[in-house]
Amino acid sequence: MRKDVRILLVGEPKVGKTSLIMSLVSEEFPDEVPLRAEEITIPADVTPERVPTHIVDYSGKHIDTMTDKNKSIYSVNNKKSIEKVRMDSVCVVVPLILVGNKSDLVEHSSMETILPIMNQFQDIETCVECSAKNLKNISELFYYAQKAVLHPTGPLYCPEEKE
Ligand code: GTP
Ligand code: MG
């Protein structure tokens, strides 16, 4: 049995990473958010899988210096942020969930664009569209993330380095 789960939010600047965390915690959309949320820990007894869960916010700035390609949150109204969802040549050893935030801003789903990307990478467990603003799918996405760590469906492997 795992001791705890760490969920990292990574993605292009301004796609709503910090807002997603704040919306989860306060159950309402924060009008203003800091650049980066403090790490929070959700106690085991209030998580669906009964495992303490840490949620870590990575600001755009941090992620650029860390691993430029490991970006898995995009906003559905921002084509550039969708195109940036590229994980080729990254050695992925953690399950990924693709999160399409700001679904309140569009009428059309981004799934058509995102599904081919998802099918290309076995490490992507699932994708979900959500909105920090109207709280759609917020608790669900953190639940999916927790589940992906505890019960990964695909093999977690380290692909050969690509040139
Ligand atoms: P960086 O830390 O600077 O990379 O940004 P971030 O990814 O943490 O995004 P942040 O939470 O700061 O949100 C950026 C902007 O998008 C803010 O103006 C938010 O109010 C807005 N925003 C976040 N989530 C949503 C959403 O679901 N819908 C809408 N309409 N706006 C959102
Ligand atoms: Mg932020």
DSSP 20: H
Ligand with the closest atom to the CA of 37: 2
Cβ atoms 97, 125 nearer than 8 A = yes
**Residue spans of the chain under pLDDT 50:** 63-70, 87-92, 158-159, 161-163
Task: Return the pLDDT at 39.
Answer: 94
pLDDT in the model for residue 59: 65
Q: Hey, is 41 helix, strand or coil?
A: strand
Determine the 3-state secondary structure of 124 from DSSP: strand
Residues lining ligand 1, Cβ inside 6 A: 11, 13-19, 33, 35-36, 59-60, 101-102, 104-105, 131-133
Q: What is the pLDDT of residue 90?
A: 45
- Gap between the terminal Cα atoms of the chain: 38
Residue 154 pLDDT = 61
Find the 34 Cα to ligand 1 centroid distance in Å.
10
Instruction: Look at residue 50 in the predicted model and tell me its pLDDT.
Output: 92
Q: Are strands 73-75 and 40-42 parallel, antiparallel or unpaired?
A: unpaired
**Are the C-beta atoms of 15 and 105 separated by less than 8 Å?**
no
Question: CA 71, CA 10: separation in Å to the nearest integer?
Answer: 5
Measured from the Cα of 73, ligand 1's closest atom is 7
pLDDT of residue 70: 45
Predicted confidence at residue 74, as pLDDT, reads: 77
Taking a C-beta distance cutoff of 8 angstroms, is the pair 90, 69 a contact? yes
pLDDT of residue 89: 36
Q: What is the pLDDT of residue 120?
A: 83
